[in-house]
Amino acid sequence: MANQVILRFEDVVFEYSHKKPILDEAGFSVRTGAKITLMGQNGAGKSTLFGLIKGEQKAKEGKVSVTNGASIATARQVVERSDFKKTVEEYFATSFKIALPNLKSEISKAMKAVNLAVPIDRIVGELSGGQQARLLLANALIQKPDILLLDEPTNNLDKDGIDHLLEFLIMYEKTVIVISHDADFLNCFTEGVLYLDVFTKKIETYVGDYYSVVAEIDGRIERERKKNAQLEKLIKDRKQKVNFFAHKGGKMRKLAKKMSDQTTELEDNKVEVRKEDKTIRDFTIPAQDMFGDIVVIKQLKVIQNHEPVVKNIDKILNKRSRLLISGPNGIGKSTLLRTLVDNKSEGVKIMDGVRVGYYSQDFATLDYEQTVFDSLESVLADGVDTQEMRAVAAGFLITGDLMGHKISQLSEGQKGLLSFAGLVLTQPGLLVLDEPTNHINFRHIPIIAKAINSYAGAMILISHMPEFVEKIKVDDYLDLGKL
């Protein structure tokens, strides 16, 4: 079966609503053992493509073929909230219609493969974001699929977790298709790219490492722009001549008609330049004007040997203080931020009256049943009207057509951008950021880093992305692994 085609799309058409296709006569093939990246704008339909591969969605036209009934499993972006109350063992068990007689042994093997060491009676919702990311991958591996689909697998993973995942994927002998915005991660193992064009609704196939493919796509976009510029100049010249000859009468009028037809043909030859390089606009996060000790941390809990341990520390954040919290997955970084924001930690105090802008790695601050409009309106600072709200949202590619959508209908990337729009509108005195690059297209990250670095209030940051952290001027550090 080596080097045979294991997956094929033939002229596939798919749409959620009439005459609004996600895919239009899309075609590609993937060979056994290939390591492929699926690339495209937020909302282009990458997760939908995974649904078609798994058979969860059905094509309107065309054919999706999986060779010899090859098995498929997906490591999703996030654990479903409905699974939070299950134990780790119960979570794995839900992957099988018929209970495995040796389930515990298989769980042990899968968890070892992804370097996850937690008791199988732990509640899934109590795991850290990094532990949940490993759980998602282990849950896919335990199914022993012929085709492994990974949706943003590096989200919430620390450096050790990403390195372990890379090593695993490089050695993995079966077929892997990955959606990820982590460019460095992709470049280490990708051998080709499936590019989902949001405008043509086609899928283009590229061969090569990730950075080479991105450069090739950027070059194509530039060639498209130059072609259109040349055509625009020629069309303008022809139209001027058409207008001149049309008023001369006789043969000149016939010539004008001929040139007019040629001009129409030139206009038809213009291509719609892809906007994959379209990024969010530069933005600032206005800071609430605060003075004094905005945050005081005297005591916190860390997880050691799966048990909480109280540690005494002395941290005070004033205006413009920037604290970077680090430590291995599972030690309690996100839990610390949640209890801080909720003001539920006895050893942590936020000054009264401080507006807190909280970017949660799992979007726990978002009400998925709210519309985008209502969600943004609910966080507006005094003096900010809905017109300004819409303008801010548009800067994050949250356009008017999305305002009536429920948040549950947004892609994970769109939820991330919505969260940043909310931070701008909140105008916080304290900014709490838990993995703010999760789910974010790498093209947006430099703009986000610039905005965060220019923020004038107090800030607490957790991030597993060193190249992002390097762009932020941090003046204090807290490594929970060294307490």
Q: What pLDDT digit, counting tens, does each position of 156-168 carry?
A: 777 788 888 888 8
Say which amino acid occupies 383: G
**What's the whole-model pTM score?**
0.70
Q: What digits encode the pLDDT tens for the residues 427-473?
A: 999 999 999 998 887 779 899 999 999 999 999 999 988 889 999 99
Tell me the HSE value of 427 on the side-chain side, using a 13 A CA sphere: 12
**Distance between CA atoms of 75 and 132, rounded to whole angstroms?**
11
Between 386-395 and 412-426, two packed helices, what is the crossing angle to 10 degrees? 140
- Per residue in 199-257, pLDDT (tens digit) is 788 898 988 888 888 788 778 777 777 877 777 777 777 777 767 767 776 666 677 67
- Of residues 129 and 294, which shows the higher confidence score? 294
- Give pLDDT tens digits for 277-309: 568 899 999 999 988 999 999 988 888 887 889
Mean pLDDT, rounded, for 186-196: 88
Residue 412 to residue 96: CA distance in whole angstroms: 27
Burial of 316 (0-12, 13-18, 19+ CB in 10 A): middle
Give me the sheet containing 20-31, strands edge to edge.
Answer: 20-31, 5-17, 61-66
Q: What is the pLDDT of residue 269?
A: 58
pLDDT given for residue 97 in this prediction: 84
According to the model, what pLDDT value does residue 91 have? 94
Of the chain, the percentage scoring pLDDT greater than 90 comes to 45
pLDDT tens digits along 244-257: 767 776 666 677 67
Q: What is the mean pLDDT of the chain?
A: 87
Distance CA 254, CA 245 (A): 9
Structure tokens at 323: 């604290």
Please list, in sequence order, all residues whose beta carbon lies within 8 angstroms of the beta carbon of residue 351, skipping any fewer than 6 positions away: 290, 292, 293, 294, 295, 429
Mean pLDDT of 369-378: 95
Residue 256 confidence (pLDDT): 66
Cβ atoms of 53 and 26 within 8 Å: the answer is no
In which band, very low, low, confident or very high, does the pLDDT at 267 lie, cut at 50, 70 and 90? low
Q: Is the confidence at residue 23, as pLDDT, over 80? A: yes
93-132: b or e for each residue (b if 16 or more CB lie within 10 Å)?
eeeeeeeeeebeebbeebbebbbbebeeebebebbbbbbb
**Dihedral sign, CA of 68, 51, 437, 206?**
positive
Is 50 exceeded by the pLDDT of residue 316? Answer: yes
Residue 179 CB coordination number (10 Å):
23
What is the C-alpha to C-alpha distance for residues 364 and 368, in angstroms, rounded to an integer? 9
In 3D space, the residue among 260, 421, 434 whose CA is nearest the CA of residue 337 turns out to be 434
The C-alpha atoms of residue 83 and residue 90 are separated, in whole angstroms, by 9
> Looking at residue 152, what is its pLDDT?
84
Q: Are strands 430-434 and 356-359 parallel, antiparallel or unpaired?
A: parallel
Question: What is each CA distance from 342 to 298, 336, 338, 354, in whole angstroms?
Answer: 16, 10, 6, 12
Judge contact between 53 and 23, C-beta under 8 A. no
pLDDT at position 283: 96
- Output the pLDDT for position 1: 46
Q: Looking at residues 76-95, what average pLDDT do you find?
A: 89
